Structure 1
Amino acid sequence: MAHEEGVEVVVAHHERATLRVGDVFLKIDADQARTDAEVEAMGMAPVPTPRVLWRRPPVLALAALPGRALGRLGEPSPASPAAWAAAGAAARTLHDAPPPPWPGRSPDAAVPLLDGECRWLVANDVLPADVVTRNRGVAEAALRPWTPVFAHGDLQVTHVFVAGDEVTGVLDWSEAGRGDALFDLATLTLGHEEHLDDVVAGYGADVDLDVIRAWWSLRSLLAVRWLVEHGFDPWPELDVLRSRR
């Protein structure tokens, strides 16, 4: 069994799993259309992405990126302010590129889900009703007209790799498509509010900070039940919701 000691389970749930073996990531996804879109998005993206080593459905093998993740949700980031600004600049480069032809995340899709998730949070004593109500009100600002851009769709801090102050690559393009630019910026800074100014400075464009804060609340409200039901600890999202004033 010695050959298994180098196998790391990066993430796993009933939809897909990612394993790391040395310098190779193996993504296993039963939805081949999603993998098709991921590979196509990486080929179109004007920012560094992992190199595709091979593909044998349902497995996609990717080369590891140099450097380390910008941070982790729920932990202080080891990256410099300049690295966070570089992540903002990379996001701007992506958003300025011609978007792919397929749709990505849409704020409209959240509307029929939001009330049900809020009821679940209160009914199961996950959060006090006043915290849920406050965040529900904050989240409304995200549900506004927006211009579709080339969006990553899941631009978490663990998906952005840096070496020093430079971005070396962006991982996990399975949610990429035509989406909301501010959703990407909110996902990047979720739980790392102290770096929002750095990201916006690197992004180099007028950004509605209220909409980003709205996405923090909206994304967290929608994520908690899914995380619980898939065996993950949602405490970082719960901390975000409790911190809204």
Structure 2
Amino acid sequence: MPAIQRSEFALALNQVANERGIDPEIVLDTVKNAIVAAYRKDHPDIVVEEYSATLDSNSGEAKIFHNEEDVTPPGFGRIAAQTAKQVILQKIREKEKEAIITDYKVRIGTIVNGMVLRFAGPNIIVDIGKAEGIMPPMEQIANEKYHLNQRLAVYLSEIREGLKGEEIIVSRASTGLLEGLLKREVPEVAQGSVEVKAIVREAGNRAKIAVFSNQSGIDPVGSCVGQKGVRVQAIIAEFNG
């Protein structure tokens, strides 16, 4: 039976194992199950549990067995090759998405710089680097105007299950955005020498921030305002003044 081209198969498997961090044995097992499923399409009356597939990890040659008897049909190699490629590509995509989501999970509660990509109904899709974030209406500032390619800071609010898997929810209305901007613009807040005790915010209108420091010589309010108001003005500018 024709085998999957070694160079193509080995290259794809090597990419999955080394570049994507996926266990090749998991990929091979998934491919075997997919090959049996492909065989079943042409033989719908078989008892699947009685059939198995073997796959040579070096040559990529696939065979179908029924109770240890080789029942591989002529010309099945091409079907097996296509099935293997589809499974490997799917595993690569799944692993990439999983890695991206894992990266952003540890960053929930922080701010990132983003850019408005498109509008999806009432939602705004924001490019946040390796992924896209969704900003639903409740996370938008009511009187803030958004446009394509607009650059803005957003708060990584949560990751939740959506129609197409896990979705990253970002916010412009959260008090977390204001606290994150304080940490970015005020070193004393980032270092912990000035503590943000409370934030009360009417997104798009006004905000009140209570700050505190138990370290002598540090003026918590002055630290946040900055010389000639430069720090607080940088935060205000993020909200378009």
TM-score, structure 1 as length reference:
0.22
From the two aligned structures, give the one with the greater helix fraction. 1
Larger relative contact order (C-alpha < 8 A, sep ≥ 6)? 1
Going by fraction, where is strand more abundant, 1 or 2? 2
Q: Which has the larger radius of gyration?
A: 2
